[in-house]
């Protein structure tokens, strides 16, 4: 999502398969902003009216007549009626939409005669089960025949008009004609109609046996008005005073064939919200949280503690019915009380009782969801209070306690002091980037006061284009014969596994042949069947699944007679779709858990190494908007790529992955593969850096790019060796030294025993970074580069040699050397952390070209002291990784010297 402002936004990307979809969600339980900026939960929208304009390209149209497989046709509202349970209400959007720009354009098709069937013979066209024919007279030429067929259509059809141009007949669909059947095929819906030609005795006289209509279009823009005070679904009022979340959905348009990847864009403009209760509130001055680890909390029963992206980094959990926690506190003024917990499946029922009031029960079980929420306890007067929260069953379900929030609501956002040296990192693999509008992410960084040079990681999972090789769609075929069409009506039955059938009827028309019946059924299927698409060649009808791979196998196809239009009473032909293949398999050892995780995550999709540009539509749109927004705040940004690709092909034959001496690829827990420094890999990554530099330049920035952990993988495969042995590396080494590389079994071996390897391996990294830097600076003069170097994973003599490209990584070539050492931070070892950010100085970089990246995933580590030490060392910037953890955990702003934690030892 990008181009977000108070009046609109854009959703864009690429559909990769037929049933892809995109969602924009409003959620009462906002989890993204920092606690000081996060609005308090309020699901009462009943006094509001929302107006906006929408245009879309590459999506199912808002007035499509397709049966929704995903809910593209409605606004889904999760709401709870008084005294009831949460219900999903699907509010149709088309009745709320009014065209405001553009017109309905009818679909049309052209059929061309290439021969006459002969004097006294019929020839014609068939459209939606209606035939329009003419018996050829002596002296008729093809233009005469075409003109009469067009005239027949104009005389007999309420829904089609026709005109001839020489021997061609152009038919136009008039869905809005008075009394017209199939009026729901207006606009682009008409692009699924098929016209087929026929002639007496089956003579081939038409240039094409059949043609699909095209050119139909809906208006370009719609005005949508949603009055939350009067929404109904099937006569039932939607309880909009108690909404938990809402979702708008867009989906890939139906294609007439096996799906081809296509880009899409949805533009929302003139967004206005009017009415009562518009303002959000936040926890204002005086608000505080009592964390689950606070001594004010008394636990009863068996509770465990988990560490993660929770408030204060910790959360308590029990699965035992009857377990409870009691919090005693005192306040001097009336306040609101909120219980921080987790809604998921299986979630427990939470019973909370404040002081002597009766207990209130809240159901925290939500199948398919896992979200941190704040349950409003109520408005509480000043004084001392006791809140008891109890696991109310069922046994085995999860009850989490994260914090108790004492909130003094305020309509005003706090202002954080600006920090010119401290910066935040963002990561497009996290929801705080990819799930938010670029402008919201940039606003959040700025609102928190972080003005230092931001570190943005493009990620390893989503930025690139994908291909899925080896995928085959399941299909079924049947051949029509003259005997089969000797009935008045034929019925075709389609049924997905374990689903009721859908029946399609074709009335056998005069002059129908096996071939025209096959065309008729193909056309009727393609008018709007989500399950399959069809094609006809001669007398054979082929039905192909729209779902990729094995998911399209097992569709039952039958041809016969029906007496009730719901089931077949007589079956003439039957077939089952088969042959669907998900894709080319990964030849990895699945006894290794990392390999199994990668296989499941990649799902047969491979990184498209040849795509231009390398970055996909969603990544390009988001990043350009992000850079523009950061520039508007005066925040400098460096964009980073690593060597990781989730969908990088691990096959040695492809040649982009690092390999161990036994030939196995380096697979990481991201999940991803670690790419190598071969010419193929260099070419891929060079273009990725060029793409990113272009986006920065388009946003008005001087490109600043980072080689983020551009390294040989740090660790050996047990009992095998280090990851230096891909084919390209071995070939280059052999060519340079005339001997094979020695097998280096561990990162702890004495590097002096491998002098050639210790010279060659870092030089290969240096050639890689030099090639990329040269290419980018040739196109974008002045482009800047930095290296992100992890000192902890390189804390062996061998790793420090092979992974620091000394000839290339100099203060003259690089604008900055940035260090990181997350494991030193996690170990609370400030001596090692100080050594870490000192490495850049030891490598000859002045303070103005030194930076340090600090992991902040756990509030119980020494990261705050490390940040203070790095700041006091005078580095150009100190970067906190990353924004999502900073907000979810709820850290205070600098200076961090006030943040202390002690533990009694001994």
Phi, psi at residue 27, to the nearest 5°? -135, 130
680 belongs to a structural domain = yes
Q: Are residues 230 and 292 located together in one domain of the fold?
A: no
pLDDT of residue 185: 75
Q: How many CA atoms lie within 13 A of 217 on its CB side?
A: 12
CB 670 within 8 Å of CB 459: no
Identify the band that residue 182 occupies on the pLDDT scale cut at 50, 70 and 90: low
Q: Where does 175-257 show beta strands of DSSP type E? A: 194-199, 210-212, 221-227, 232-233, 236-237, 243-251
Kindly write down the DSSP assignment for every residue of 476-487, as one continuous string: EEEE--GGGGSS
The answer, yes or no, to whether residue 900 has pLDDT greater than 50, is: no
H/E stretch holding 518: helix 514-526
- Averaged over 97-116, what is the pLDDT? 97
Range of the domain at 394: 288-407
Q: Are residues 91 and 112 located together in one domain of the fold?
A: no
CA–CA distance from 717 to each of 269, 276, 713, 722, 796 (Å)? Answer: 54, 63, 10, 6, 16
Domain of 439, CATH number, reads 3.20.20.80
Identify the band that residue 871 occupies on the pLDDT scale cut at 50, 70 and 90: very high
The pLDDT > 90 percentage for the chain reads 96
Residue 820's closest CA among 457, 461, 464, 462? 457
For residue 401, the tally of other CB atoms under 10 A from its CB is 25
pLDDT of residue 184: 66
Residue 692's closest CA among 682, 702, 683? 702
pLDDT of residue 683: 99
- Averaged over 872-884, what is the pLDDT? 98
Could you tell me the two tokens for 10?
């854009």
Residue 749's closest CA among 711, 710, 792, 716? 716
| Cα dihedral 164, 166, 169, 172 in deg (nearest 10) | -50
Task: Give the model confidence (pLDDT) of 68-91 as tens digits.
Answer: 999 999 999 999 999 999 999 999
Task: Give the model confidence (pLDDT) of 786-820 as tens digits.
Answer: 999 999 999 999 999 999 999 999 999 999 999 99
Stated length of the chain: 906
Q: Are residues 175 and 233 located together in one domain of the fold?
A: no
CB 322 within 8 Å of CB 373: no
Task: Quote the CA–CA distance of 748 and 716 in Å, as a whole number.
Answer: 10
> Angle 438-447/617-632 helices, nearest 10 degrees?
30
- Residues whose CB falls within 8 Å of the CB of residue 521, separated by 6 or more in sequence, listed in order: 490, 492, 504, 506, 534, 536, 541
587 belongs to a structural domain = no
- What do you get for the CA distance between the two ends of the chain, in Å? 53
Domain of 147, CATH number, reads 2.60.40
Q: Are residues 631 and 751 located together in one domain of the fold?
A: yes
Match 């808002």 to its residue by tokens: 62
Task: Quote the CA–CA distance of 418 and 635 in Å, as a whole number.
Answer: 11
DSSP state, residue 701: P
DSSP state, residue 93: S
Task: Give the model confidence (pLDDT) of 308-359 as tens digits.
Answer: 999 999 999 999 999 999 999 999 999 999 999 999 999 999 999 999 999 9
Residue 329's closest CA among 403, 414, 409? 403
- Averaged over 883-904, what is the pLDDT? 78
Q: How many domains does the chain have?
A: 5
Domain of 489, CATH number, reads 2.60.40.4390
The answer for 828, left when phi > 0, alpha when psi is -120 to 50, beta otherwise, is left
pLDDT of residue 901: 45
The answer, yes or no, to whether residue 115 has pLDDT greater than 80, is: yes
904 belongs to a structural domain = no
Q: Are residues 711 and 735 located together in one domain of the fold?
A: yes
- End residue of a domain, out of 207, 240, 258: 207
- Residues whose CB falls within 8 Å of the CB of residue 686, separated by 6 or more in sequence, listed in order: 771, 772, 775, 776
The answer, yes or no, to whether residue 186 has pLDDT greater than 90, is: no
Q: Are residues 732 and 857 located together in one domain of the fold?
A: yes
The answer, yes or no, to whether residue 566 has pLDDT greater than 70, is: yes
Phi, psi at residue 742, to the nearest 5°? -70, 150
214 belongs to a structural domain = no
251 belongs to a structural domain = yes
H/E stretch holding 145: helix 142-156
Domain of 332, CATH number, reads 2.60.120.260
- Residues whose CB falls within 8 Å of the CB of residue 694, separated by 6 or more in sequence, listed in order: 613, 780
Could you tell me the two tokens for 52?
């906006």
Tell me the whole-structure pTM to 2 decimals.
0.96
pLDDT of residue 180: 57
Identify the band that residue 902 occupies on the pLDDT scale cut at 50, 70 and 90: very low
Task: Give the model confidence (pLDDT) of 743-784 as tens digits.
Answer: 999 999 999 999 999 999 999 999 999 999 999 999 999 999
């Amino acid at each position: 999502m990008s181009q977000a402002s108070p009046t609109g936004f854009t959703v864009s990307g690429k559909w990769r398969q037929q049933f892809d979809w995109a969602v924009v969600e409003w959620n009462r339980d906002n989890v993204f902003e920092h606690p000081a900026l996060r609005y308090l939960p309020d699901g009462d929208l009943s006094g509001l009216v929302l107006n906006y304009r929408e245009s879309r390209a590459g999506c199912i149209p808002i007035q499509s007549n397709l049966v929704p497989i995903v809910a593209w046709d409605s606004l889904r509202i999760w709401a709870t009626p008084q005294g009831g349970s949460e219900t999903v209400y699907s509010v149709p959007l088309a009745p709320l939409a009014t065209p405001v720009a553009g017109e309905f354009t009818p679909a049309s098709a052209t059929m061309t005669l290439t021969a006459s069937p002969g004097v006294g013979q019929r020839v014609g066209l068939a459209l939606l089960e209606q035939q329009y024919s003419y018996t050829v007279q002596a002296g008729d030429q093809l233009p005469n025949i075409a003109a009469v067929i067009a005239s027949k259509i104009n005389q007999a059809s309420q829904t089609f008009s026709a005109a001839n141009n020489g021997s061609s007949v152009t038919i136009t669909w008039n869905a809005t004609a008075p009394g017209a059947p199939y009026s729901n095929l207006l606009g682009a819906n008409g692009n699924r109609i098929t016209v087929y030609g026929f002639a007496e005795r089956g003579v081939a006289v038409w240039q094409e046996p059949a043609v699909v209509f095209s050119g139909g279009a809906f208006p370009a823009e719609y005005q949508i008005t949603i009055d939350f005070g009067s929404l109904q679904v099937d006569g039932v009022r939607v309880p909009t005073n108690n909404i938990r979340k809402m979702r708008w959905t867009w989906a890939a348009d139906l294609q007439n064939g096996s799906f081809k990847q296509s880009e899409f864009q949805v533009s929302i403009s003139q967004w206005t919200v009017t009415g009562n209760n518009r303002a959000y509130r936040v926890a204002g001055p005086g608000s505080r949280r009592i964390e689950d680890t606070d001594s004010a909390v008394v636990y009863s029963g068996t509770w465990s503690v988990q560490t993660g992206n929770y408030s204060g980094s910790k959360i308590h959990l029990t699965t035992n019915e009857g377990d409870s926690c009691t919090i005693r506190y005192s306040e001097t003024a009336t306040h609101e009380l909120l219980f921080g917990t987790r809604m998921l499946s299986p979630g427990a029922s939470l019973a909370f009782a404040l002081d002597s009031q009766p207990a209130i029960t809240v159901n925290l079980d939500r199948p398919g969801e896992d979200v941190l929420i704040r349950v409003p306890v109520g408005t509480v007067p000043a004084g001392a209070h006791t809140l008891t929260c109890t696991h109310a069953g069922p046994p085995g379900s999860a009850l989490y306690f994260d914090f108790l929030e004492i909130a003094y609501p305020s309509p005003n956002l706090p202002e954080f002091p600006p920090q010119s040296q401290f910066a935040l990192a963002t990561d497009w693999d996290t929801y705080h980037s990819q799930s938010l509008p670029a402008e919201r992410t940039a606003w959040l960084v700025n609102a928190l006061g972080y003005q230092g040079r931001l570190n943005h990681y493009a990620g390893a999972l989503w930025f690139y284009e994908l291909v899925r090789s080896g995928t085959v769609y399941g299909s079924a075929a049947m051949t029509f014969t003259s005997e089969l069409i000797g009935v008045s009506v034929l019925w075709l039955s389609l049924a997905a596994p374990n689903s009721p059938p859908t029946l399609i009827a074709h009335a056998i028309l005069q002059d129908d042949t096996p071939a025209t019946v096959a065309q008729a059924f193909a056309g009727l299927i393609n008018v709007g069947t989500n399950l399959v698409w069809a094609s006809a060649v001669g007398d054979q009808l082929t039905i192909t699944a729209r779902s990729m791979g094995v998911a399209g196998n097992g569709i039952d196809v039958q041809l016969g007679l029906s007496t009730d239009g719901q089931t077949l009473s007589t079956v003439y032909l039957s077939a089952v779709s088969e042959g669907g293949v998900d894709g080319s398999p990964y030849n990895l050892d699945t006894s290794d858990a990392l390999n199994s995780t990668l296989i499941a995550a990649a799902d047969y999709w491979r990184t498209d190494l040849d795509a231009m540009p390398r970055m996909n539509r969603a990544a390009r749109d988001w990043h350009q908007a992000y850079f523009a927004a950061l520039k508007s705040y005066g925040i400098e940004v460096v964009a980073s790529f690593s060597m990781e690709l989730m969908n990088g092909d691990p096959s040695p034959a492809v040649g982009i992955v690092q390999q161990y001496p036994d030939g196995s690829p380096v697979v990481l827990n991201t999940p991803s593969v670690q790419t190598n420094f071969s010419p193929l890999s260099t070419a891929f990554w060079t273009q990725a850096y060029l793409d990113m530099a272009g986006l920065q330049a388009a946003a008005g920035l001087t490109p600043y790019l980072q080689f983020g952990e551009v390294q040989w993988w740090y660790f050996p495969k047990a009992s095998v060796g280090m990851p230096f042995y891909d084919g390209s590396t071995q070939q280059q080494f052999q060519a340079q030294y005339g001997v094979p590389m020695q097998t280096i079994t561990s990162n702890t071996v004495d590097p002096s025993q491998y002098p050639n390897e210790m010279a060659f391996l870092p030089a290969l990294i240096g050639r890689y970074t030099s090639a990329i830097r040269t290419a980018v600076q040739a196109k974008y003069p002045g482009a800047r580069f930095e290296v992100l170097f992890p000192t902890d994973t390189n804390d062996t003599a061998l790793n420090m040699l092979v992974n620091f490209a000394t000839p290339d990584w100099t203060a003259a070539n690089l604008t900055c050397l940035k260090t990181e050492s997350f494991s030193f931070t996690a170990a609370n070892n400030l001596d090692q952390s100080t050594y870490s950010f000192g490495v850049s100085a030891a490598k000859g970089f002045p303070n103005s070209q030194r930076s340090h990246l600090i992991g902040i995933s756990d509030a119980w580590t020494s990261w705050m002291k490390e940040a203070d030490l790095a700041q006091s060392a005078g580095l150009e910037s100190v970067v906190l990784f990353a924004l999502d953890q900073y907000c979810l955990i709820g850290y205070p702003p600098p200076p961090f010297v006030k943040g202390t934690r002690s533990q009694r030892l001994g």
